């Protein structure tokens, strides 16, 4: 009986090892080693384009796609995560499509690049265009900042040159040339054009608007 249990445990360990790798090198998927179906726990180098399942570690290269969860740091021209992201993405385009509207399933970390997108994010977006499809808890800094629900800060470049849009609920502060909030629960807008559809001091006010 003990030998049988030991054999099962060893087989399971080898099966788990077979599905993961500490190093992955890709030219253009499927020209990569090991295959795109493997998880990576360590280092991935994507010379042109690489793809894997789940990822944990350091990701370097030109363009990468992680189909599952991403944990660690990605420095590529294009970073795309199909699941949740925990850590950081630095590149021209950063994308985290966790597809989960519940806060328990949000991505956590930072996206720094020209264009940043996350479905639900707890953390930081810094770039030219920043988008959080469902909800943002943290801050966005750039020329165009968009979120549905926003809890934190949306700020234009140099604290002035920016458009901030939150179509849902806002708790926090928007600073830019144009600020729009669907509903201002608790917060302030500072800018040239400040619009609040519901629960604000006024539907439109220059310089400062808000709601409490």
Any idea where the domains of the chain sit in the sequence?
A: 61-211
pLDDT recorded at residue 160: 81
> Which has more confidence, 3 or 175?
175
pLDDT tens-digit map of 34-90: 999 999 999 999 999 999 999 999 999 999 999 999 999 999 999 999 999 999 999
Q: Span 153-164, mean pLDDT?
A: 91
Is the pLDDT score of 121 beyond 70? yes
8-12, 35-39, 152-156: range with lowest mean pLDDT = 8-12
Helix (H, G, I), strand (E, B) or coil at 35: coil
Is the pLDDT score of 192 beyond 90? yes
pLDDT recorded at residue 16: 39
Is the pLDDT score of 101 beyond 70? no
Tell me the C-alpha to C-alpha distance, in Å, between residue 81 and each of 2, 88, 137, 158, 161.
42, 11, 19, 30, 30
8 — pLDDT class (breaks 50, 70, 90): very low
Q: Span 171-177, mean pLDDT?
A: 98
Among residues 92, 98, 49, 55, which one has the least CA distance to residue 73?
Answer: 55
What is the sign, positive or negative, of the torsion defined by CA atoms of 33, 34, 35, 36? negative
Q: Does residue 85 contact residue 70 with C-beta atoms inside 8 Å?
A: yes
Is the pLDDT score of 13 beyond 80? no
What is the C-alpha to C-alpha distance for residues 110 and 123, in angstroms, rounded to an integer? 6
Q: Span 18-44, mean pLDDT?
A: 94
105 — pLDDT class (breaks 50, 70, 90): low
pLDDT recorded at residue 15: 36
pLDDT recorded at residue 100: 54
Q: What is the pTM of this model?
A: 0.87
* Mean pLDDT for all residues in the chain: 90
């Amino acid at each position: 009986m003990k030998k049988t249990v030991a054999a099962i445990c060893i087989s399971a360990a080898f099966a788990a090892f077979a599905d993961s790798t500490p190093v992955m090198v890709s030219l253009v998927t499927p020209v990569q080693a090991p295959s795109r179906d493997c998880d990576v726990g360590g280092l991935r180098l994507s010379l042109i384009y690489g793809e894997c399942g789940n990822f944990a570690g350091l990701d370097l290269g030109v363009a990468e796609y992680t189909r599952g969860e991403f944990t660690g740091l990605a420095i590529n021209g294009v970073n795309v995560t199909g699941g949740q992201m925990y850590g950081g993405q630095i590149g021209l385009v950063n994308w985290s499509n966790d597809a989960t509207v519940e806060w328990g399933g949000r991505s956590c970390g930072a996206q720094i690049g020209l264009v940043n997108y996350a479905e639900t994010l707890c953390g930081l977006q810094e770039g030219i265009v920043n988008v959080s499809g469902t909800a943002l808890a943290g801050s966005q800094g750039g020329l165009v900042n968009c979120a549905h629900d926003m809890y934190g800060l949306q700020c234009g470049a140099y604290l002035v040159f920016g458009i901030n849009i939150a179509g849902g609920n806002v708790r926090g502060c928007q600073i830019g040339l144009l600020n729009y909030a669907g509903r201002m629960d608790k917060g302030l807008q500072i800018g040239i054009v400040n619009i609040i559809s519901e629960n604000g001091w006024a539907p439109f006010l220059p310089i400062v608007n808000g709601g409490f």
